Amino acid sequence: MVVMLLRPPGVYRAEGDTELLTDVMDRDGFALGRDVLDVGTGSGALALAAARAGAAAVTAVDLSLRSVAATWFNSRLHRMPVTVHRGDMFAPVAHRRFGLVVANPPYVPAETGRLPRHRKARCWDAGPDGRAVLDRICAGVTDVLTPDGDVLLVHSAVCDTDLTLDALDRAGLVPQVLAKATVPFGPVMRARSALLESRGLIGPGQREEELVVVGAHRG
């Protein structure tokens, strides 16, 4: 289902990775009847998808004021009951527990470990190995999950899918890869191909990446 979303400058545009995660959420009924948390919501694409998929309640969190405003506007535009908070990761909802947590975090390897706060690159820069935000989600998500809750994450295999599986396992969850899709590099990955090759994150001349949806269950 194509939904028009307001996306101010500096807010992530929902693309193939968002669609892949949404497909898994819809296919397996992860959101149905559950309280859902969308971490790093951007324009609110995943939050709205969860509401359309029958979530009992949807909460969205983002550190970016523009993203919070965009998600609030988009949820009202489409008459979807989404509660939006501004804050860092799980901090705004530390008192809550959710049956499903979804995230499409920044995962593109960057030149440095310093994460941008006020540039468009904050939508994708994720430290030298692309895991700066992913690892924080994996380490902290158990604290906001119900006893039978699930988490769905999407990222590039360039970030090493096995590291995500291991991190979720260490957090006490049962992880598995639920979907994969091979796509051409987007503009940012193409621009950084030489950097990624020099670090051994991609092969010589590689200009495609595998997107993966990793799910993990608490129980």
Yes or no: say if 209 and 182 are a contact pair by the CB < 8 Å rule.
Answer: yes
- Any bridge partners for residue 103, and if so which? 39, 153
pLDDT digits (tens, 9 = 90+) for 86-100: 999 999 999 999 999
Single pTM value for the model = 0.93
Q: Is residue 3 part of a domain?
A: no
- Phi/psi region, residue 79 (left: phi>0; alpha: psi -120 to 50; beta: rest), is left
99, HSE (Cβ side, Cα atoms, 13 Å): 14
CATH code of 178's domain: 3.40.50.150
Whether 9 maps to a domain, the answer reads: no
Rounded CA separation 186/183 (Å): 9
Domains in the chain: how many in total? 1
Domain membership of residue 142 as a residue range: 16-185+211-217
Per residue in 104-152, pLDDT (tens digit) is 999 888 877 576 565 666 667 778 898 999 999 999 999 999 999 999 9
pLDDT in tens, the chain (219 residues): 556 787 877 787 778 999 999 999 999 999 999 999 999 999 999 999 999 999 999 999 999 999 999 999 999 999 999 999 999 999 999 999 999 999 999 988 887 757 656 566 666 777 889 899 999 999 999 999 999 999 999 999 999 999 999 999 999 999 999 999 999 998 888 888 999 999 999 999 999 999 999 999 997
Residue 145 lies in a domain: yes
Angle at 163 between CA 141 and CA 155, to 5 degrees: 70
Do the domain assignments include residue 165? yes
Between helices 45-52 and 65-77, what is the axis angle to 10°? Answer: 30
Please give the radius of gyration of the chain, using alpha carbons only, rounded to the nearest integer: 16
- The CA distances from residue 148 to 103, 145, 154, 217, 218, in Å, are 18, 8, 20, 7, 5
